[in-house]
């Protein structure tokens, strides 16, 4: 059974640029949630994708957008990057939309984004 | 706004000692309270979780204590080992909700 894989592991972008982060969900999982973890902080919910549609969204501006593909993998896109977007971006897959219990989230190791 | 407040920010404990991390929440609709463990370079992993119908849950050396009236819950790590050195996050949600609200994290260092 493969876990959640994210790519790339690290990247550096310039303010104003656009970035795409990728996530492959764990085998058997059909839902992907994205979280932003700033340095020294807990993860903050960005949005969740289920059946290729956004199922819920946190307090993030529209320049944060996503996609889910038929194989349940997902992309997080961020436009017009700002310095404050520098963070670890975590993808979590799950079977169903719930975050709870043993059928809840399995997190990937994240993508470290640095905006300069 | 931060819905789950966690303390302390960091702690150091000797091998064999007890680590205690505290969390408080505001939203009375929350009824699922997990703890996650995160090692450097890795994503958070579910460690143990509790629901408000019990006041304590124990799994091996890890125990959650829950106080519904005070809206507080805590993680106790008994007989702390160097391999327990990690960052611990408390979180809360409504059962089967699609998102978790995390605390800011506690970095635990266990000295050999």
Kindly determine whether residue B46 and residue A44, on different chains, have CB atoms separated by under 8 Å: no
User: Does residue B20 carry a pLDDT above 80?
Assistant: yes
User: Does residue B1 carry a pLDDT above 70?
Assistant: no
Which pLDDT belongs to residue B6? 98
User: Does residue B2 carry a pLDDT above 90?
Assistant: no
User: Does residue B106 carry a pLDDT above 80?
Assistant: yes
Q: What is the mean pLDDT of residues B87-92?
A: 96
Question: What residues are paired with A107 via a beta bridge?
Answer: A92
User: With bands split at pLDDT 50, 70 and 90, how would you rate the model's confidence at B23?
Assistant: very high
Kindly determine whether residue A92 and residue B6, on different chains, have CB atoms separated by under 8 Å: no
Of B89, B96, B99, the CB nearest to A42: B89
Name every chain B residue with its beta carbon within 8 A of the beta carbon of A42: 4, 6, 89, 91, 102-105
User: Does residue B97 carry a pLDDT above 90?
Assistant: no
Kindly determine whether residue B98 and residue A99, on different chains, have CB atoms separated by under 8 Å: yes
Q: How far is B63 from chain A (nearest CA, A)?
A: 16
Which pLDDT belongs to residue A100? 76
Kindly determine whether residue A42 and residue B104, on different chains, have CB atoms separated by under 8 Å: yes
**Euclidean distance between the first and the last CA atom of chain B, given in angstroms as a whole number:** 38
Which pLDDT belongs to residue B98? 82
If you compute the radius of gyration of chain A from its CA atoms, what whole number of angstroms results?
13
> CA angle, B96 as apex, A25 and A27 as ends, to 5°?
20
Kindly determine whether residue A56 and residue B6, on different chains, have CB atoms separated by under 8 Å: no
Residue numbers in chain A where pLDDT is lower than 70: 1, 101-103
Q: Does A108 touch chain B (CB under 8 A)?
A: yes
User: Does residue B90 carry a pLDDT above 90?
Assistant: yes
Of B89, B96, B105, the CB nearest to A100: B96
Q: How far is A22 from chain B (nearest CA, A)?
A: 15
Q: Does B29 touch chain A (CB under 8 A)?
A: no
Which pLDDT belongs to residue A101? 65
Among residues A92, A111, A113, the alpha carbon closest in space to that of A9 is found at: A111
Q: For residue B1, what are the contacts with CB-CB under 8 A and spacing of at least 6?
A: none
């Amino acid at each position: 059974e493969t876990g959640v894989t994210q790519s790339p592991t690290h990247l550096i972008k310039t303010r104003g640029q656009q970035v795409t982060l990728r996530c492959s969900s764990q085998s058997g999982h059909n839902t992907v949630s994205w979280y932003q973890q700033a340095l020294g902080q807990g993860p903050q919910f960005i949005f969740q994708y289920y059946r290729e549609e956004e199922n819920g969204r946190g307090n993030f501006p529209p320049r944060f957008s996503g996609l889910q593909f038929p194989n349940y993998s997902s992309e997080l896109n961020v436009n017009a990057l700002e310095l404050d977007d520098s963070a670890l971006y975590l993808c979590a897959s799950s079977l169903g939309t719930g975050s709870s219990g043993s059928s809840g989230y399995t997190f990937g190791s994240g993508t470290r984004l640095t905006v300069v | 706004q931060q819905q789950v407040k966690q303390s302390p920010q960091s702690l150091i404990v000797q091998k064999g000692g007890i680590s205690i991390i505290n969390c408080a929440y505001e939203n009375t609709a929350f009824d699922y309270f997990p703890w996650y463990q995160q090692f450097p370079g890795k994503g958070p992993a579910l460690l143990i979780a509790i629901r408000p119908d019990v006041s304590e849950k124990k799994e091996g050396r890890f125990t959650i204590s829950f106080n519904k009236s005070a809206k507080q819950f805590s993680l106790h790590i008994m007989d702390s080992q160097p391999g327990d050195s990690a960052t611990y996050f408390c979180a809360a949600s409504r059962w089967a909700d699609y998102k978790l609200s995390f605390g800011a994290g506690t970095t635990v260092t266990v000295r050999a």
